[in-house]
Chain A
């Protein structure tokens, strides 16, 4: 029901675009529907095994008002509603369909992902954003209910400050939670950006009270086809992590190369949720070094190949255990777009893992057929997972899912997606049907 209402809302908001020659309304003018854009998605999912089934409905609404680059006032909203249609939530005992949404007493759950408004340059170089937003400039994206003020009016320098409450959507109360910080950025010459950033989080949850200070130093440097990114962070005044990444694009020969090295200095014990939502359950994160080298190369005509190698090793090899692993992963993904027929796209993904306990390889792939300008069908198999049994420490599971999917364009801004998947696991054989409609306006 909610989904239908959201969909109707989306259609109602759709207005024909104004003619290109129509003069734009002056800044700060009355809100008009033609300034509102967004999309509504409704997805029905039915899953079943030999022993049971589950039906859910998901609805997403995303709205934006205005253009932050051109309008004085802009705003955004993003929300999700999930409905358990059959009401069969696993209240006790094992239920193969249990999920996060089933941990509530009611069958309908809502999440407000983002809801903010922005004042864009009320005075030159000043931006103010207030509401629920995600700060994505830090190593970890941090959701916040609060205010962000940015100023870039001073030549070669910009600064920002923010303050508010960290968003922990699954926590019952944000009482006594707090976050604030800011950054200072300079562009001493055209191709170099240097930045110092600070984030303080106070998070009170069922496990205790956490106060964390994160300081980061960032350099972004462009050198022709190369882009170098370096970040060094301090946590509680102690060295935390360093990241060095070099990416380069050689468009003339169709080559993209991306290399990254991360070095994690000290053992990380539980932090506030915004900085580390996982160590409560995955335990300490031991010091490690991880290197990734990726490359993509066009091979002429419809062919291309992507390849990567990832090496992760613990600083102290004796620390290896569940959730702190060493491994080497090689991946190669050849692709063909428009081969062997112009309407076909084919990709194959091959992985080879080498770990302390075992070596193994996996294979997956996808074949898509553009049957019609409005219809694309695909079949494929998602790659098996790198599997370690957390109870025994053994690496043994290979799980393969196969799927068939279709996307049908019903109109200029209306899409229908359908998908059927089968997944064989040691727990059960899952079959899933999903049908979704997306309307953009």
Chain B
């Protein structure tokens, strides 16, 4: 059973790795984009506001209704041989209502108003860069926080704090990714860096010495008196790598060799190990 679990995990990650590399080398094999072609509409003279009618008046830019699309597509979609994915019908549900993909939708924690930005004369393309050349919506088009902060830093530095855009998250309220498995995941995320995800930029909220502060001075809850006297050896025997997360040096030596022997709870194989080590590797 043990081998099966490990083989399963190994197969899982290797398969995922292979898929990812292949997709990078052959982009056409990547996820199929949602077949809405912004470019095809813009070159025909439509502007953003023609379809997203409330982009200058309301918080949300708004999506067109079926009737609006059919103003043009009533006849276009009757053309013989026109592929289904280029017809309005491809975007309709069973009741005939449009189901628009919202690839740029932000989480509920984000406060953003199209109206406010339109009033400040921010062009659509300033945030939705390249949308005029977009021929298919691909998952992952979410706006990056760095693009917001870069612009705000130049144009509106007084509106570049957490509360400007975040409803809940601030320096005392962790972002969503801190809520699940964060004890296990934070190291991985921090090493990925902000280039991968803004929430990986620890320096947004944490000072540069935060790693040291936690890993060197905040013992886990199970480090009790029994832990100090006995269980730390047991735990180290199970998973030494866990110890090395924080204990990076020669503390063992200090207690187990330099100090006066304290009790029968001294680590059993200690002297054997020390003696052998002293004689070389």
User: What is the bound-complex CA distance between A69 and B150, given in angstroms?
Assistant: 13
A49-72 vs B, CB cutoff 8 Å, 1 = contact: the mask equals 000000000001011100111000
Query: Once the chains bind, are B13 and A244 in contact (CB under 8 Å)?
Result: yes
Interface of A is mostly: strand
User: Across the interface, which residues of B come within 8 angstroms of A281, CB to CB?
Assistant: 233, 252, 256, 267, 269-270, 273-274
Q: In the complex, which residues of chain B have a beta carbon less than 8 angstroms from the beta carbon of A76?
A: 207-209, 212
A47, closest chain B residue (CB): B225
- The answer to whether A103 and B259 have CB atoms under 8 Å apart is yes
Across-interface contacts of A385 in B (CB, < 8 A): 222, 226-227, 231, 234-235
Determine which of A60, A143, A430 lies in contact with B225 in the assembled complex, contact meaning CB atoms within 8 Å: A430
- Stretch in A2-10, A218-226, A339-347 with 4+ CB within 8 Å of B: A218-226
- Contact between B13 and A322 (Cβ–Cβ < 8 Å)? no
CA distance A92 to B261 in the complex (A): 7
Q: Is B196 an interface residue (CB 8 A)?
A: yes
Report if A425 contacts B (CB, 8 A): yes
> CB < 8 Å: which of B233, B253, B272 contacts A390?
B233
Contact in complex: B181, A432 (CB < 8 Å): no
Which of B21, B222, B250 contacts A221 (CB under 8 A)? B21
In the complex, the answer to whether B249 meets A244 with C-beta atoms within 8 Å is no
Task: Work out how many contacts link A and B, with CB atoms closer than 8 A.
Answer: 317
Question: At the interface, yes or no: A359 with Cβ under 8 Å from chain B?
Answer: no
A149 contacts the other chain (CB 8 A): no
Let me know if B181 and A258 touch, CB within 8 A: yes
Question: Residue A427 contacts which of B226, B241, B256 (CB distance < 8 angstroms)?
Answer: B226
Q: Which A206-239 residues sit within 8 Å CB-CB of chain B? A: 206-208, 210, 219-224, 226-230
Give the docked Cα–Cα distance between A127 and B69 (Å). 54
CB of A168 within 8 A of CB of B9, answer no
Does B272 lie within 8 Å of A208, measured CB to CB? no
Is B99 in contact with chain A by the CB < 8 A criterion? Answer: no
A218 to B: closest C-beta gap in Å:
9
Chain B proximity mask over A318-345: 1 for CB below 8 Å, otherwise 0: 0000111111100000000000000000
Query: Are the C-beta atoms of A170 and B251 separated by less than 8 Å?
Result: yes
Residues of B contacting A327 in the complex (Cβ-Cβ under 8 angstroms): 238
Q: Bits for B243-281, please: 1 = Cβ < 8 Å to A, else 0.
A: 111011111111111111011110111101110111111
* Contact between chains at A113 and B212 (CB < 8 Å): yes
Residues of B within 8 A of A254 (CB): 180
B57 at the binding interface (Cβ < 8 Å): no
| CB of A1 closer than 8 Å to a CB of B | no
- Interface residue tally for chain A (C-beta within 8 Å): 131
Task: Find out whether the CB atom of B235 lies under 8 angstroms from the CB atom of A277.
Answer: no
Residues of A within 8 A of B270 (CB): 281
- In the complex, the answer to whether A282 meets B233 with C-beta atoms within 8 Å is yes
With the chains together, A167 CA to B226 CA distance in Å? 28
- The smallest beta-carbon distance between A263 and chain B, in angstroms, is 9
Q: Which of B209-232 contact A (CB under 8 A)?
A: 209, 211-213, 215-217, 221-222, 224-231
- Are B17 and A228 neighbours in the complex by a CB distance under 8 Å? yes
**Cα–Cα distance between A143 and B118 once the two chains are bound (Å):** 51
The answer to whether the Cβ of A136 comes within 8 Å of any Cβ in the partner chain is: yes
Q: 1/0 contact trace for A120-150 toward B, CB 8 Å? A: 0000000000000010110011110000000
B-side contacts of A63, CB under 8 Å: 209
State whether B249 touches A208 (Cβ < 8 A): no
User: What are 23 A-B residue pairs whose CB atoms fall within 8 Å in the complex?
Assistant: A76-B209, A93-B263, A103-B255, A114-B209, A141-B248, A142-B248, A143-B249, A169-B249, A207-B278, A223-B19, A230-B17, A245-B188, A246-B16, A251-B176, A273-B253, A283-B273, A291-B9, A295-B181, A327-B238, A382-B221, A382-B224, A425-B226, A430-B224
A261-B10, A281-B233 given; 18 more Cβ-contact pairs under 8 Å: A76-B208, A90-B262, A100-B251, A103-B259, A113-B217, A114-B209, A170-B254, A171-B253, A222-B196, A249-B180, A256-B181, A258-B181, A282-B233, A306-B181, A312-B238, A385-B227, A386-B235, A430-B225
Instruction: Show the binding face of A for B, using Cβ within 8 Å.
Output: 20-21, 37-39, 41, 47, 60, 62-64, 67-69, 74, 76-78, 80, 90-100, 102-103, 113-114, 134, 136-137, 140-143, 166-171, 187, 189, 191-193, 205-208, 210, 219-224, 226-230, 244-247, 249, 251, 254, 256, 258-262, 269-270, 273-274, 276-283, 285, 289-291, 293-296, 298, 304, 306, 309, 311-313, 322-328, 382-383, 385-388, 390-391, 399, 401, 421, 423, 425, 427, 430, 432
